[in-house]
Amino acid sequence: MTSPHDMTRKVLDMFAEISKIPRRSKNEDQICDWLKAWAEQRGLEVRTDSVRNILIAVPGTKGIENAPIVVLQGHVDMVCEKTPESSHDFSKDPIELVYDGEWLRANQTTLGADNGIALAMGLVAASDPAVAHPPLELLFTVDEETGLTGANAIEPGFIKGKILLNLDSEDEGVLTVGCAGGMDTLLTLDLEHENAPAGHQAFDFVAGGMTGGHSGVDIIEMRANALRVMVRAIEALLPHGVKPFDLKGGSAHNAIPRDARAGLFIPAGAVDAVKASLDAQQSLLRAEFANTDPNLKLVLTPRAEAPKRVMSAAGARKLVDFVMAIPHGVAAMSTDIPGLVETSNNEAILAMVGESVTIKTSQRSSVMSRMRALTLRIEGIARLAGGRAESGNGYPSWQPNMDSPLLARCVRIYEEMYGKKPVVEVIHAGLECGIIGAKNDGMDMISLGPTVKNPHSPDEKIHIGSIGLVWDYLLKVMASFAD
């Protein structure tokens, strides 16, 4: 373990305090209460709205007190993913932080640097007497990870500032000036079931060990999707008379599924053949995803309790066809920006509700009409299969403004500090800037942040040195408004 750089200690200490507080999406009352109390204890004005977004108003320091208000913005919630071995309870357990050389990670869970690090930086900027800053509004939104709900609920006038620094980007040295819009779709398909036949044995089947990751940032990596891996393996077993039941997998609309599981009812005389088939499927899939998912595994274990109902052969065939017909991954690359994913879909969550399967998908695109077209395709697949589709939780893309005065200021300061120009990019992920900008005419916005790897997965980690670089840069940007 290496000691964090002195310049980052206060930020890391604040992040550690935040990490003690449960903040799963839609379970944010404790962190919102804590933030409100933090502000009130310091005599700062704090405002909340109908969904519990928090805005803390901080007067400017001497010499900058009459500068324009700068909004420092992040979201309070986190994606809660853990390894199958972890017993962590996100409703009450603190995140266990692990310093690992140059990186900070968590013990078998997501770290929550996305976006707890924004809260930490904002609070330290507001409370450290050594920090020179203009009047600030710390805007901390709720429920970003499940569809940017908090940003969508912001009422006109809640924010007074017209300069916004979003602290939810994940690469130091990169200024984000645009992002994709998004839409979720819930698909439901009834599947034919039958009474569990005699002469079969029940097993638990797990397709696991996959890398997963952020469904926007990491979708270009072509990583394995556990839902599709599971169903491909099941398809190979259907000739052996296998009857699936109780399928589930994935945990968040914006995380590529890492693990999925199903019950399998196997004819007693076919167990050895099924095991051999799974071994062959595992070898095939490991070779297919050798560079992205080297720990992919297919595991079959006996199950003590036998099911009463299982899918019929026709139901199982329909399940396989449905899951595999739904598109997953990159749908189109941008023709304007080389290397940028324009449109994609994440086949995110599968569950059984009675004798029906539900699948949640998450579409993204920087071109809203193409996102709508992809959504129509997914809805159409469900209808053609005899199922139902319901789409919602949409949010707009953020179109870049390359003539932004804030962008020119931020590029100039970065080059002065570090002797090189920052990367200016548009990302294939959802940021709240698009929504906030649409609700506040004339808002000038940039997104930045320290380097975070593998967000939305238990492999999430933040580079400690990059926290110091971004912190120093943020201080320079804020102080520059004294000019």
Active site residues: 77, 144
User: How far apart are alpha carbons 35 and 46 in whole angstroms?
Assistant: 9
Q: Cα 4 vs. chain centroid, distance in angstroms?
A: 26
User: How far apart are alpha carbons 345 and 219 in whole angstroms?
Assistant: 8
Alpha helices in 289-427 (DSSP H): 313-325, 368-384, 405-418
Residues 171/172/174/179 CA torsion (nearest 10 deg): 40
- What does R_g of the chain's alpha carbons equal in angstroms? 24
Type of residue found at 150: G
**Quick check: 451 and 172 in contact, CB under 8 A?**
yes
Number of H helices, E strands in the chain: 11, 25
Q: Give 9-47 as a DSSP string.
A: HHHHHHHHHHHTS--BTT--HHHHHHHHHHHHHTT-EEE
User: How far apart are alpha carbons 199 and 80 in whole angstroms?
Assistant: 40
| Phi, psi dihedrals of residue 199, rounded to the nearest 5° | 75, 20
Q: Which helix (H) or strand (E) holds 124?
A: helix 113-127
For 284, the token pair is: 């095939």
User: How far apart are alpha carbons 440 and 381 in whole angstroms?
Assistant: 38
Q: Which of 371, 418, 359 is nearest to 395 (CA)?
A: 371
For 44, the token pair is: 């700062």
**Quick check: 429 and 447 in contact, CB under 8 A?**
no
User: How far apart are alpha carbons 6 and 429 in whole angstroms?
Assistant: 32
Per DSSP, which regions of 129-249 are E strands?
136-141, 163-166, 174-179, 181-190, 193-195, 200-208, 213-214, 243-249
